Chain A
Amino acid sequence: MQITGYHGTSVDNANNIVSNGFTISAGDEHWIGDGIYFFIKGLFKNPDESAKKWAIANSWDNDSKKHKYSNYGTIEANISIDEDTFWDLTSSDGIETFNYLRDKYVEAISKAGKRLKDKDFKDGHIINKAVNDGFFSPSAIKADFYIKFTTERIFTINFRIPNCTILALRNNNCIEKERLKIKDKGQIQ
Chain B
Amino acid sequence: MIKLDNILKEKIDSFFHNTDPIMIVKSFEKMGYEFEDDSYRISIINCSSVDLNEQSLNSFEYFYSKGLENQFYTGIESTFFDDMHSNIKYSWHEHNNCYTYYNHVAEVLNQFSDIETESEDFSDNEPAQYNLAA
Query: Could you list which residues of chain A lie within 8 angstroms of chain B, going by C-beta atoms?
Result: 28, 83-88, 91, 93-94, 96-97, 100-101, 104-105, 107-119, 125, 129, 133-136, 138
- Tell me the complex Cα distance, A86–B3, Å: 9
B8, B11, B12, B32: residue with the most chain A Cβ atoms closer than 10 Å: B12
Tell me whether A135 and B8 are in contact in the complex, defined as CB-CB below 8 angstroms, given that A108-B21, A114-B38 are known contacts: yes
CB <8 Å contact, B42 and A110? yes
Tell me whether A83 and B36 are in contact in the complex, defined as CB-CB below 8 angstroms, given that A109-B28, A129-B27 are known contacts: no
Query: Could you list which residues of chain B lie within 8 angstroms of chain A, going by C-beta atoms?
Result: 1-4, 8-9, 11-13, 15-16, 19, 21-22, 24-25, 27-28, 31-39, 41-42
Q: Which residues of A contact B36 (CB under 8 A)?
A: 114-117
- Tell me the complex Cα distance, A87–B8, Å: 13
Q: Which residues of A contact B15 (CB under 8 A)?
A: 133-135
Q: Which residues of A contact B24 (CB under 8 A)?
A: 105, 108-109, 112
CB <8 Å contact, A135 and B35? no
Minimum CB–CB distance for B12 against chain A, Å = 6
Tell me whether A83 and B28 are in contact in the complex, defined as CB-CB below 8 angstroms, given that A104-B12, A115-B36, A135-B15 are known contacts: no
For B29, give the chain A residue with the smallest CB separation.
A114
- Tell me the complex Cα distance, A135–B11, Å: 7
- Tell me the complex Cα distance, A50–B130, Å: 64
- Tell me the complex Cα distance, A113–B59, Å: 11
- Tell me the complex Cα distance, A83–B21, Å: 33
Minimum CB–CB distance for B60 against chain A, Å = 15
Q: Which one, B8, B19, B35, contacts A114 given CB within 8 A?
A: B35
Minimum CB–CB distance for B47 against chain A, Å = 14
Q: Which residues of A contact B42 (CB under 8 A)?
A: 110-111, 113
CB <8 Å contact, B12 and A111? no
Minimum CB–CB distance for B10 against chain A, Å = 11
Tell me whether A138 and B37 are in contact in the complex, defined as CB-CB below 8 angstroms, given that A101-B12, A114-B25 are known contacts: no
CB <8 Å contact, B25 and A138? no
Minimum CB–CB distance for A29 against chain B, Å = 9
Minimum CB–CB distance for B66 against chain A, Å = 16
CB <8 Å contact, B28 and A125? yes
Tell me whether A116 and B35 are in contact in the complex, defined as CB-CB below 8 angstroms, given that A100-B12, A107-B16 are known contacts: yes
CB <8 Å contact, A136 and B33? no
Minimum CB–CB distance for A117 against chain B, Å = 4
User: Can you name 24 A-B residue pairings with CB atoms under 8 Å?
Assistant: A28-B32, A84-B1, A86-B2, A87-B1, A93-B2, A94-B2, A97-B8, A108-B16, A108-B24, A110-B42, A114-B25, A114-B35, A114-B38, A115-B38, A115-B41, A116-B36, A119-B33, A119-B34, A125-B28, A129-B31, A135-B8, A135-B11, A135-B12, A135-B15
